[in-house]
């Protein structure tokens, strides 16, 4: 499985799950809802218990009072008054049922409905003489008004607590998700670019242990390790090799060096009578020819600095041979440009044959060059979005269909208008326009002390039916060399329509891979682009 497939699978796996922030919010809201339900249930049960006790107390008090009031009426055998009194109590909703019996158990008066369950009985006495008994049923307490009043009192507080739970859940979830997000981003960086920023291994929680393990396993691929480009930048000027001053060598080291030099000279000369260490040539009292600082001569200034990329993409360079004639060194060969470089054999015929079919022009922006400095994944994503906005601005003027590759490289396709290679002219203008905005934006970030990305821009053209091959060729060109300017392919550079309309031949410098670096377009186009760049750069 390739890195891009692994990255695609990782993204699908992450997107198929509910995020940790969402889980935390749901958990906090669930806890809040359960807490509200539990609190409401407890409040309701408390009200119900209090109402039950109050109901029982009222029944005892009302039964005792009604029994005392019924005694005189029973003594006078005033049954009508007994029934009227009970009926008035029923009408006032104080009781739901009542009955009065004499000492023999005969019912004297009744009102309402008593029900079938056992009721409390109250004895009716007069001067310690039992006259009868009273059965009474009081109406149950209605808790609905109290419950509604409680809800109206508590719902603003409940709403505020609910919002607070939502905010706390989001905040806590985002704090929990930060180390996981950093871990996923570092993993994605490793899959895409084989490099990643180090994770925070100073945390005191479990993530500190995980991050420490991640940094240890991928120690050689962390961005804080010195990169090849940084190594090149730190090399001293001159021959490209570090210089060891003679004063830095101790006496025994100097003596050992003299012996090694003497043995090497004897071996190269095939002469056993070369001389001894004490001879003037190798004497330690003489000048230290082997380790002195390099002499600033025309030859040393002409020796190139070999970089790691030069060794990767070219064969092993031959050792430069010194030229004794300084006058010859002073005469430099003219720079190979499009003006003095003839087209390769067969390329013009290939261009003429391609013109008979529909053509397409590609603007390829490589944001994954190998000389990226240390930058965290979050900052890189922010920069990629900013560059994407610049591309959108450019394409709003010059057209083109924008696509983003899986590795975040940007591809813009221009396929019309077809007349006089206008689509490729638009691609070149869009490339120069974007490149100017890109440099202006990076300059602003540099002044603010913020990092930026190094990109490589390639413009390529060819038959529309070979679009997939053209995309691969443009991507390969963007990875071959690091340039300060944009790159155009041979098909673009040698096209007669483009040379006549938009290209200035002296501004197209030949590269080792056969393509050309383009510093600027012809004046009539470039002057307009410079005005556009100046105008839009002010609002970046």
253-304 confidence digits (pLDDT tens):
556 656 665 665 565 555 555 555 444 444 444 444 444 444 444 444 444 4
Whether 316 has a pLDDT exceeding 60, the answer reads no
- Exposed/middle/buried for 518, CB within 10 Å: 0-12, 13-18, 19+? buried
Distance CA 424, CA 418 (A): 9
Whether 459 has a pLDDT exceeding 70, the answer reads yes
Among 8-17, 171-180, 384-393, 473-482, the least confident range: 8-17
3-class secondary structure, 6: helix
| Angle value at C-alpha 438, between 432 and 443, nearest 5 degrees | 130
Among 165-174, 254-263, 322-331, the least confident range: 322-331
Rounded alpha-carbon distances, angstroms, from residue 465 to 296, 333, 469, 478: 56, 41, 9, 22
Among 11-20, 66-75, 475-484, 524-533, the least confident range: 11-20
Distance CA 510, CA 336 (A): 6
Contact 494, 396 (CB under 8 A): no
In tens, the pLDDT along 40-71 reads 788 878 878 887 787 788 778 888 888 888 88
Distance CA 527, CA 520 (A): 10
Architecture of the domain delimited by 347-537: 2-Layer Sandwich (3.30)
Strands 401-404 and 359-366: unpaired
Token representation of residue 231 = 């190594």
The pLDDT confidence band at residue 116, using thresholds 50, 70 and 90, is low
Q: Which of 492, 342, 505 is nearest to 425 (CA)?
A: 492
Rounded alpha-carbon distances, angstroms, from residue 501 to 46, 361, 415: 91, 16, 18
Distance CA 414, CA 363 (A): 8
Treating both helix axes as pointing N-terminal to C-terminal, what angle do 144-193 and 20-75 enclose, rounded to 10 degrees?
170
Whether 114 has a pLDDT exceeding 80, the answer reads no
pLDDT at 290: 43
Mean residue pLDDT of the chain comes to: 75
Top-confidence residue, 142 or 473: 473
Distance CA 114, CA 475 (A): 95
Distance CA 142, CA 269 (A): 121
Token representation of residue 401 = 């269909």
The pLDDT confidence band at residue 521, using thresholds 50, 70 and 90, is very high
Contact 327, 298 (CB under 8 A): no
* Residue 491 Cα to chain centre, angstroms: 38
Rounded alpha-carbon distances, angstroms, from residue 461 to 80, 414, 467, 480: 116, 9, 9, 18
- In the chain, residues under CATH classification 3.30.70.1230 are 347-537
């Amino acid at each position: 499985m390739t890195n891009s497939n692994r990255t695609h699978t990782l993204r699908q796996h992450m997107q198929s799950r509910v995020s940790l922030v969402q889980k935390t919010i749901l958990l906090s809201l669930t806890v809040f809802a359960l807490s509200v339900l539990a609190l409401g249930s407890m409040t309701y049960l408390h009200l119900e218990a209090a109402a039950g006790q109050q109901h029982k107390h009222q029944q005892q008090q009302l039964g005792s009072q009604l029994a005392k009031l019924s005694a005189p009426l029973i003594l006078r055998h005033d049954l009508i008054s007994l029934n009227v009194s009970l009926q008035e109590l029923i009408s006032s909703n104080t009781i739901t049922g009542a009955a009065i019996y004499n000492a023999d158990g005969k019912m004297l008066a009744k009102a309402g409905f008593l029900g079938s369950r056992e009721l409390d009985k109250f004895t009716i006495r007069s001067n310690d003489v039992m006259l009868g008994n009273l059965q009474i049923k009081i109406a149950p307490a209605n808790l609905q008004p109290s419950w509604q009043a409680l809800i109206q009192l508590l719902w603003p507080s409940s709403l505020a607590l609910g919002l607070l739970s939502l905010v706390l859940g989001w905040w806590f979830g985002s704090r929990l998700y930060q180390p996981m997000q950093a871990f996923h981003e570092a993993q994605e960086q490793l899959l895409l670019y084989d490099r990643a920023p180090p994770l925070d291994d100073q945390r005191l929680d479990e993530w500190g242990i995980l991050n420490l393990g991640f940094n240890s396993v991928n120690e050689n691929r962390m961005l804080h390790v010195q990169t090849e480009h940084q190594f090149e930048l730190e090399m001293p000027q001159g021959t490209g090799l570090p210089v060891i001053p003679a004063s830095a060598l101790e006496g025994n080291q100097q003596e050992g060096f003299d012996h090694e030099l003497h043995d090497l000279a004897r071996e190269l000369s095939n002469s056993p009578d070369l001389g001894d260490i004490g001879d003037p040539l190798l004497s330690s009292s003489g000048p230290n020819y082997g380790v002195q600082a390099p002499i600033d001569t025309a030859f040393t200034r002409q020796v190139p600095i070999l970089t790691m990329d030069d060794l990767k993409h070219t064969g092993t360079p031959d050792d430069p041979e010194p030229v004794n004639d300084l006058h010859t060194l002073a005469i430099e060969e003219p720079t190979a440009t499009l003006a003095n470089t003839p087209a390769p054999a067969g390329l013009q015929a290939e261009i003429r044959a391609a013109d008979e079919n529909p053509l397409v022009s590609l603007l390829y922006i490589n944001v994954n060059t190998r000389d990226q400095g240390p930058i965290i994944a979050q900052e890189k994503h922010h920069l990629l979005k900013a560059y994407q906005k610049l591309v959108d601005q450019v394409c709003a003027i010059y057209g083109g269909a924008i696509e983003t590759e899986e590795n975040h490289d940007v591809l813009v396709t221009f396929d019309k208008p077809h007349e006089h290679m206008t689509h490729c002219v638009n691609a070149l203008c869009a490339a120069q326009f974007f490149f100017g905005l890109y440099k202006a934006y990076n300059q602003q970030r540099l002044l603010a002390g913020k990092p930026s990305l190094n990109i490589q821009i390639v413009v390529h053209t060819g038959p529309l039916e070979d679009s997939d091959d053209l995309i691969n060729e443009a991507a390969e060109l963007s990875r071959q060399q690091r340039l300060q300017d944009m790159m155009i392919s041979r098909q673009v550079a040698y096209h007669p329509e483009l040379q006549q309309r938009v290209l200035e031949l002296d501004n197209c410098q030949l590269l080792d891979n056969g393509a050309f670096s383009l510093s600027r377009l012809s004046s009539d186009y470039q002057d307009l682009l410079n005005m556009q760049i100046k105008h839009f750069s002010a609002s970046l």
